[in-house]
Amino acid sequence: MGPGPSCVSDSVYAALARPTIGHLDPFFIEIMDTEKKNLKTIFRTGNELTLPVSGTGSAGMETCFVNLVNPGDKVLILVNGVFGTRMADVAGRLGANATVREFEWGTPVLVDAVREELAKQKFAIVAVVHAETSTGVRNPVEEIGRIVKDHGALYLVDAVTSLGGIDVRMDDWSIDAIYSGTQKCLSCPPGLAPISFSSRAVEKLKARTTKVPNWYLDLSLIMNYWEGSKRAYHHTAPINMVYALYQALYDLLAEGLEKSFARHADAHAYLVAELEKIGLTLLVAPESRLPMLNAVRCPEGIDEAKIRSRLLDEHKIEIGAGLGPLAGKIWRVGLMGHTARHENVDRLITALKHVL
């Protein structure tokens, strides 16, 4: 019940254990094509360049940046937690002219502040985290998207924690590049990073005058393996992880996206109510909270690390610690994917009562 990985269902474990076949096997190509189709449904996009990158969510982040950032590009990074900070780090390593607009951790990005930054200068890319895993904040990605669209920049969004747990509407929100991870609300082991590029993003990739500075994550090469009638070998795909994601997406769509969102919201509301009964509150204001990642304030005078250790040792429950300026001040409780169920909340509350 930490910030990820989430619990994995038996159906996904069973898929993961199926016999390994070749990465160019015709049947595996069928699996790839169906997986692309299902990812497009979950991202709510018609983008042809939609696929899972071999690697965790961080590989998805690097994929978006290395393919779209040219040296000297003006990039605006909106930061209110650890994962926005990582975006800024990656952009800087690629030689971008990065402007970092910071906001208080535990609060959302302010739309008016974004508008101010875009009025000052022309940016090639604007990047933001949808669900900031380090704080439990939901950023106003849809509202920011409307401003970025008017500005003309490419809009890059981190949906690692949000995909599958709350609505993500890539096309409706004018998102040009998006990435996620398998180990959060998709309830799959870590190892793949779903990404999608709009036609505008693909145009920028194809217009590059220099090679993408990372061979392994170069989408101009990878797309030749994931698209078309003739598949060109790029690297050996993690076959069994592709099986696992195939099953996880199947399970999510069988449940229904709206039902999944409702289940996450219900589990969150139940957790908040049960925490309040034992005197615990959340860091983030109700209107900006994520249902799948809950930042719980640690009581005064409590050794928060000892509480986490006892939860794990005595009750086999894992929760996460605070990061950065929130270290020692919060616990991060995950209700992601298969974890988002009342019985898990009940088990955590019973354990917390005991160790506190």
User: 139 with 246, same domain?
Assistant: yes
Angle at 84 between CA 80 and CA 87, to 5 degrees: 160
pLDDT, averaged in runs of 10, over the chain (356 residues): 97 98 96 98 98 98 98 98 97 97 98 97 98 98 97 97 98 98 98 98 96 97 90 95 98 98 98 98 98 97 96 98 97 98 98 97
Domain-located, residue 3 = no
- Nearest CA to 189 among 4, 354, 2? 4
Number of structural domains, the chain?
2
Q: Same structural domain for residues 43 and 62?
A: yes
Do 274 and 244 fall into the same domain? Answer: no
199 and 317 co-located in one domain: no
CATH code, domain carrying 167: 3.40.640.10
Residue count (the chain): 356
Same domain, 270 and 248: no
Identify the pLDDT of residue 120: 96
125-129 and 154-158: which strand pairing?
Answer: parallel
pLDDT of residue 321: 98
Are residues 249 and 264 located together in one domain of the fold?
Answer: no
Q: Is 216 found in the same domain as 169?
A: yes
- 105: tokens are 């951790």
What pLDDT sits at residue 129? 98
**Which distant-in-sequence residues (6+ apart) come within 8 Å of 321 by Cβ?**
304, 305, 308, 327, 328, 330, 331, 332
Co-location of 262 and 248 in the same domain: no
| Amino acid 207: pLDDT | 96
Tell me the C-alpha distance between 192 and 183, whole Å: 8
Beta sheet of 330-334, edge-to-edge order: 293-297, 330-334, 320-321
Residues 6+ apart with CB under 8 A from 156: 64, 65, 68, 87, 125, 126, 127, 128, 175, 176, 177, 178
What does 18-43 look like in DSSP terms, one character per residue? SPP--TT-HHHHHHHHHHHHHHHHHH
* Residue after which a domain boundary falls, among 212, 234, 254: 254
Q: What is the pLDDT of residue 274?
A: 98
Instruction: Note the pLDDT of residue 230.
Output: 86
The residue segments making up the domain with residue 285 are: 257-355
Q: Which of 193, 222, 254 is the last residue of a domain?
A: 254
Angle at Cα 59 formed by Cα 186 and Cα 245, nearest 5°? 30
Confidence (pLDDT) at 42: 98
Q: Are residues 240 and 268 in the same domain?
A: no
Residue 137 lies in a domain: yes
